[in-house]
Amino acid sequence: MNSTEIMIKMTFDRWYGSVKNWDTLLNSITDVQLQKEIAPGKNRGIYLLGHIIAVHDDMLLLLNMGDKLYPELHEPFLKSGDKVIAEIPAAKELRAYWSKQCEVLKQKMESLKPGEWFEKHTAVTAEDFIKEPHRNKLNIIITRTTHLAYHTGQLVLLK
């Protein structure tokens, strides 16, 4: 295994570990618990679930892997705060979205060759990428892993 492959393996070991941690926690929380606020006046668990799905949906675009699976989640979970939009999908529906999204992301991520992870993501221009080559696809995985771990720490407060 060369240095590039080692770096990618380390990144994805942490990514899949974080996804598994979120999954395990989510499966231990009831739909009723998801309706609770993480802390008084803060986001509810169901909002965090929708938010994570919406953020991971954006990864498909950023990684140039196709269209979003759930574009309807952008407005209520990225553009708006919790409780701003009255009607959001039910917890059961969001859980199904999460499972499907994980499958699709895994399939698409595993199809990339090691060198492709060091190519620019779609939110950076070619000119900027020349100056900042760290703004690559692998960096998206690193930042989204941190984001997922942060919200896992919040979700655990519902237990």
Residue 57 CA to residue 52 CA, distance in Å, equals 8
Residue 46's pLDDT is what?
Answer: 98
Write down the pLDDT at residue 63.
98
Between the CA atoms of 54, 59, 62 and 64, what dihedral angle is there, to the nearest 10 degrees? -120
Between helix 45-62 and helix 137-155 the angle, nearest 10°, is 180
Q: Report the percent of the chain where pLDDT is more than 70.
A: 100
Determine the pLDDT at residue 58: 97
Q: What is the pLDDT of residues 77-136, one digit of tens each?
A: 999 999 999 899 999 999 999 999 999 999 999 999 999 999 999 999 999 999 999 999
Per-domain residue ranges for the chain? 3-158
Q: According to the model, what pLDDT value does residue 39 have?
A: 95
- Other CB atoms within 10 Å distance of the CB of residue 115: 10
pTM: 0.96
Report the mean per-residue pLDDT for the chain.
97
Candidates 3.40.640.10, 1.20.120.450, 3.20.20.370, 3.40.50.720; CATH matching 3-158? 1.20.120.450
Per-residue DSSP letter, 128: H
What's the pLDDT at 8? Answer: 96
Confidence of residue 72 (pLDDT cuts 50, 70, 90): very high
**pLDDT computed for residue 47 by the predictor:** 98
